[in-house]
Structure 1
């Protein structure tokens, strides 16, 4: 929320400078996010009146003006502005004036000079040249009563300061200049000027028929008819200026009046063109299929969860959010209907976001607007309409005030002992009563207990902690003592058989991967295509349309990172992410680390793309393949020995994907990206990905002491012939099934597949469906050197096991 300091001081003017006011508000919870002057520094710019304007003798687009600046004589000034004419008053920079810096960043100094042969004794200024706005279509025209010769900073109050507040949702009562002034008065003790609005004279008895059909939508609806207004009247300069300093541009007089009262008192309102209303108004919930063209030009379709104001023919307004185009006031409007209502916050909250826009009115109503002052605020709006748009024939009708369901404030109690415990410093009952009384809250006190009935504008006071917060704010957060916590903080000890997640990050970084951090919100398409998840966890209020579901796999995020880097000419990408994924699971119950109905396991995933190594002379250049990443997975899980089984995964190539098994359960997958998704992402080569359950990766075997044999090991190589369908895992399992105590290790070091020769025969003496595997066996004993008989027996038992389990034969 933005507003000028001068407006705030009209309601409450404490003996504090600008920075002290900002610090006071910030320390009370009303964070002042920004302080900036209305205009940059400049001097020697005064109000000037053009007395004469003639065509420049040597230039078609220049005029020679005689300007009165209150110095007795007239200044001769050459000006090229299209609106330079006799009789207007404009800012005039005198010789020696220093204007705000231009685009080059250097101050602009006015000097005596000649333009096309005519002497110019100053400069007439536009708003842009004074850095008051971006308008540079002509000179800044001042009011006709501006005193000639007066310093322009004084005349336009340019030494004012703009406050920008960053308010939390519970401070809805501060969404107006008067609301902030009320807080400032409570904090500083300075008197608060409470506005009083005298009723305008009622000149006709006419009322617009209004029916409130939904008390759970609208608790109070007030309105009145005003006839014979001049909607083409110009908004006064003072109102235009104040609206601009609140960040609101001037539209028309009636719209400006409504916006002005909203910023002044926090009361959003709406002004209808009375002649465009058919019959009466009905305040109700929408009906499915009803459509409304809004003031912003959008056409929306409402349903039974959206409140509307309708006439006898159609919907005319979104309740508490925005008016409709059909009943909007225009230059041709003669009669208006002014409306101010109390909309229940829960009936407005979130409705505008359904239609992908937000409004100042909706922002206030969904937090709570005072229901008790609708009549007083209509009087304020009516008086402004009469003053600005009034004509000799303007007449006002009586206020039709319907109170159908007003909120009933519930008493809230505060225990002084509890307040002292929560705040963390001793507070007395007198301090609590004083703080709450200064805020204008009605207080009843007993021994050790203070009871407050929240006023109508305080929707945030509902529980004891709310009152404690008010006491802390008024006492001053800066006075809270720096007390260290007294509760012992004891970290949970990690099991010895489990490593930390940071160690996994370190190891992946050592393997050449770079960590990425991505949103847990992803596109629904990723879940369907890459995770095979048809029922993802959907977000009720996504931050963007393409981030509508929670991810159940990390692979989509990594592919997005890959695509981002490839679009920026990265040739080699190796990235990983360690993060949480989300599934629906009715079996999960609430606990300190779980949410009922949702499983949220941690995963670690990686992606490799491009060359295996960075460009270098020491090795040949080749692309990373499945076995490279499989080796990274093995290194990540070491010393555990995972088993890799052929598998299928929605994101991976059907024939180049393996599941990773540890201790009898599937811990994840590794494989190339599916050709369909590779084509969809327009990738020159297939990246290789892996995704593992983090719990499986964190599991570690506790190291156990084992002596190193003093005797030299023996190595024997065997070459066996097996069918092409026999896997490496099956061969290794068969070798270990012998249970031979001498066997220390078995490593596959060569694979030979036969080739078809020109004469049609098969090379190597093998069949077309066979392959030859060369395996090195390492044999050893701890207590003695192996004999030839022991070595031969171990090799023989291994060959027999291979023959029995996988049908192998020695080559």
Structure 2
């Protein structure tokens, strides 16, 4: 929130400097994010009036002006040559006298005015535009001042250019400080300086006209006040003082009625809306929107509302988005003669988040979703009406005030002992009571406690801790002693059977992968193509149009990182990510760490692209393949030994994809990117990806001591001819299924398939060479037992898979 210091000091003017005021606000929780002067430094510029203006004899675009500078024109009006198009007799403008210094230019040095000669005519000064004084970007002509501006007065003094602009960075609980008066109320409480409350006199009705209002949704609107004013002149000029204050609040002047509404919002914190009465059909209805209703807003956007958005409608159509923005159909214009002024209390929960659905935000919505005083609607309409009549004229009718559901403020108990414990320093009941009194909070005292009834403008006071915060904030954080924390530090021990996410990251880094961090919201195309997710979870208010859904897989993010690297001529890419994914699950309940209906597990995914190894002399160049990444996955899961099954995945090549299983449970997939997606994403070659459940990767078996075998193992090699349809995993599992438990390991070490079918290995078959390790911990294996075990193993694979020993 931005405002000028001078406006704040009109309501409360403590005897402290500007810097001290900024420090006071910041230490009270109203952080002053920025302080900036209204105008840059310049000197010797005064108010002057052009009394004569003649054409320059030697230049078509220059005029020779005689300027009265009051006491600075001792020898008569000053002669000044000026090229501004609006230089004419009778206007009062800023005059830079000889010796004046204008604001610094791009070089940082001030520009000094000297006696000059332009096309043969001497000039004793300079008439200034707003841009030359760096008051605005307007350089279309001289800065015209009001006709009553005192001649000769320093322009800094006349325009109050020594003012300072404060920009506050307010937290959401400080809704009562979203106005100059609200901040002044805080300054008064903090300093004890009296608060000059604005005087709001009631405007006597000159008409009996009213507008029927039907509040149909009390959970949307708790109070709705309004008044008709007829015969206004919307072509009137907004006063310069109001334009100036609005500009110093960062608001551009639009038209008198709009400016008045904005002015009162900045002054008192009350957003309001002014309708063109003649464009309203019948009465007004305050209700929730209906499916399919449309509304063209003041910003030109046409939106479609539903039952979750509040509206103000007349008998024919929706006319305004409740608490957020008015509609174009009933907007005031230069032709408006009769108006309806509205001020309402909208429940914060009914306004919060609504404007973000339509990808915009407004000052009104920002205030109403945090809470605006429901008790002051009538008074604020009186203030707006007085300004309307002062600037635009008109006759006012009576105020109608509908109150279907005014908020009830529940008392909050403050225990003095509890406050002292939370704050960390001793406080007395008298100090606590003094704070409540300074803040204007009603309270009653008991033994060791206060019962406080929050005022209508404080929506943030609901629990005891809120009052404790007020106590320490007003007493001053500088009073807090430098006391070390007393809380015991308890180490949270991770189970031995589970490693940390950082350990997983280190393991992948050791395998040559680099970590990436990506948004959890992605393009909908990625979800549809790479995850097969036709109904992803949509983001209500995406930060960018493409990032519209929550990801259910990490693969889209990894492919996007690959594209980013390839665009920068990277030839070899190894990246991984540990992140959360999201999918719908009706069984998930809402808790502190979960959202109802949304499953949010952690996954770890990786991508490898380019050469299998960096360029070197010891290995020939080859591209990374499925088995390289499969080996990385096995290293990541070690000491668990995963099994792999041919599988299908939307993102992966149908013949080069495998499901990763631990104890028979699928924990992820590894495979090469599908050719159609490689082509769709313009990749020169297909990367190999993997994605696993992080919880499965974090699991680790607790080490168990194993005795050193007392006997020596025996190794036997078998060359088995099997059908091409028999998988390696099935064959190994059958060989290891020894009833006596003597087959400890079975390892495939060779595959042979002749170029042309032979009698030994016909078409459709291949030879798999497997090495078996046999061991009996209790007795030495002799040849008879070994032969029996081998014969039994051959018989098992023959029975199960039709395997035979190769001749």
TM-score higher than 0.5: yes
Cα offset for 1:598? Answer: 4.8
Q: What is the match of residue 696 of structure 1?
A: 696
Match among 792, 805, 810 for residue 806 of structure 2: 810
How many residue pairs are counted as aligned between the two chains?
803
| CA shift for structure 1 position 115 | 4.1
Structure-2 separation of matches of 1:341 and 1:434: 33
For residue 338 of structure 1, give the secondary structure of its aligned residue in structure 2: strand
Q: Are residues 118 and 742 of structure 1, via their aligned partners in 2, closer, same or farther at CA, if it must alter by over 3 Å?
A: farther
CA distance in 2, matches of 1:488, 1:422: 16
Please identify, of 665-674 and 583-592, the stretch whose mean Cα deviation from structure 2 is larger.
583-592
CA shift, 1:134, in A, is 2.0
Contact 2:359 2:541 in 1 (8 A): no
- Quick check: 1:355 aligned with 2:358? yes
Distance 1:483 1:591 in 2: 35
Aligned positions of 1:373-522 closer than 5 A? 373-390=376-393, 394-522=394-522
Q: Deviations over 1:505-527 (max 9, x none)?
A: 11111212111222333445444
Q: Counterpart in 1 of 2:344? A: 341
How much has 1:670 moved relative to structure 2? 0.4
Kept in 1, the 8 Å contact 2:767–2:806? The answer is no
Does residue 315 in structure 1 map to residue 311 in structure 2?
no
How far apart are residue 584 of structure 1 and its match? Answer: 4.3
Q: Which residue of 1 aligns with 2:146?
A: 143
How far is 1:540 from its partner? 5.7
Task: Tell me how far apart the structure 2 counterparts of residues 135 and 192 of structure 1 sit (CA, whole Å).
Answer: 37
CA–CA distance in 1 between the matches of 2:59 and 2:22? 52
CA deviation digits over 1:39-93, x for unaligned, max 9?
2223333333333334444444333434344243544444333223333222333
In 1, distance between residues paired with 2:596 and 2:487?
A: 29
SS for the counterpart of 1:432 is helix
In structure 2, the residue matched to 1:261 is 264
Match of 1:282, SS?
strand
Native 8 Å contact 2:236 2:391 kept in 1: yes
Q: Show CA shifts across 1:341-371 (max 9, x none).
A: 2223333333323332222122222222222
Residue from 209, 215, 232 that aligns with 1:212:
215
1:163 equivalent in structure 2: 166
Report matched runs for 1:498-577 at 5 Å. Answer: 498-533=498-533, 536-537=536-537, 546-577=546-577
Q: What residue in structure 2 maps to residue 660 of structure 1?
A: 660
CA distance in 2 between counterparts of 1:711 and 1:430 reads 86
Structure 1 581/211 Cα, relative in aligned 2: closer, same or farther at 3 Å? closer
Equivalent in the alignment of 2:247: 244
The TM-score with structure 2 as length reference comes to 0.91
What CA deviation, in whole Å up to 9, does each residue of 1:80-116 have, x standing for no partner?
A: 3322333322233344444334345554444544444
8 Å Cα contact 1:282/1:311 also seen in 2:
yes
| 2:199 is the alignment partner of 1:196 | yes
| Aligned residues of 1:262 and 1:268 also touching (Cα < 8 A) | yes
Matched, 1:39 2:34: no
CA distance in 2, matches of 1:781, 1:456: 85
Cα offsets for 1:289-325 (capped at 9, x unmatched): 3333222122233334433333333332222222222
Structure 2 counterpart SS, 1:666: strand
Q: Distance in 2 between matches of 1:484 and 1:764?
A: 86
Q: Work out the CA distance in 2 between the residues paired with 1:793 and 1:162.
A: 95
The answer to whether the 8 Å contact 2:736/2:744 transfers is: no
C-alpha contact 1:580 1:602 (8 A) present in aligned 2: yes
CA distance in 1, matches of 2:525, 2:176: 43
Instruction: Flag the 1:721–1:262 CA change in 2: closer, same or farther, 3 A.
Output: same
When normalised by structure 1's length, the TM-score is 0.90
| Aligned residue among 233, 239, 242 for 2:236 | 233
Is the 1:11–1:193 contact (alpha carbons within 8 Å) kept by the matching residues of 2? yes
CA contact (8 A) 1:755 1:763 kept: no
1:750-779 CA deviation, whole Å, 9 max, x = no partner? 4333325xxxxx479632322334455678
Q: Superposed, which structure 2 residues align to 1:599-618 within 5 Å?
A: 599-616=599-616, 618=618
Cα-to-partner distance string for 1:259-279 (whole Å, 9 max, x where unaligned): 101100111122222332333
Cross-structure match for 2:61: 61
Distance in 2 between the 1:110 and 1:619 partners? Answer: 77
**Equivalent in the alignment of 1:172:** 175
Q: Distance in 2 between matches of 1:474 and 1:786?
A: 87
Say whether 1:770 aligns with 2:765.
yes
Kindly indicate whether the alpha-carbon contact (under 8 Å) linking 2:648 and 2:654 is maintained by their aligned counterparts in 1: yes
1:91 and 1:784, CA in 2 relative to 1: closer, same or farther beyond 3 A? farther
Q: Identify the residue that residue 680 of structure 2 maps to in structure 1.
A: 680
User: What is the aligned partner in structure 2 of residue 752 from structure 1?
Assistant: 752
Indicate conservation of the 8 Å contact 1:738/1:801, yes or no.
Answer: no
Q: Check whether the contact 1:46–1:91 (CA below 8 A) recurs between aligned residues.
A: yes
Equivalence for 2:84: 81
Q: CA deviation at 1:5?
A: 0.7
Asked whether the equivalents of residues 754 and 764 of structure 1 are also in contact (C-alpha less than 8 Å), the reply is no
Post-superposition offset of 1:629: 0.8
Structure 1 distance, partners of 2:734, 2:581, is: 38
Distance verdict in 2 for CA 1:166–1:517, change over 3 Å: same
Matches of 1:752 and 1:206 in 2, distance apart?
Answer: 100
Q: Mapping of 1:112-123 within 5 angstroms?
A: 112-123=115-126
| Aligned residue number for residue 651 of structure 2 | 651
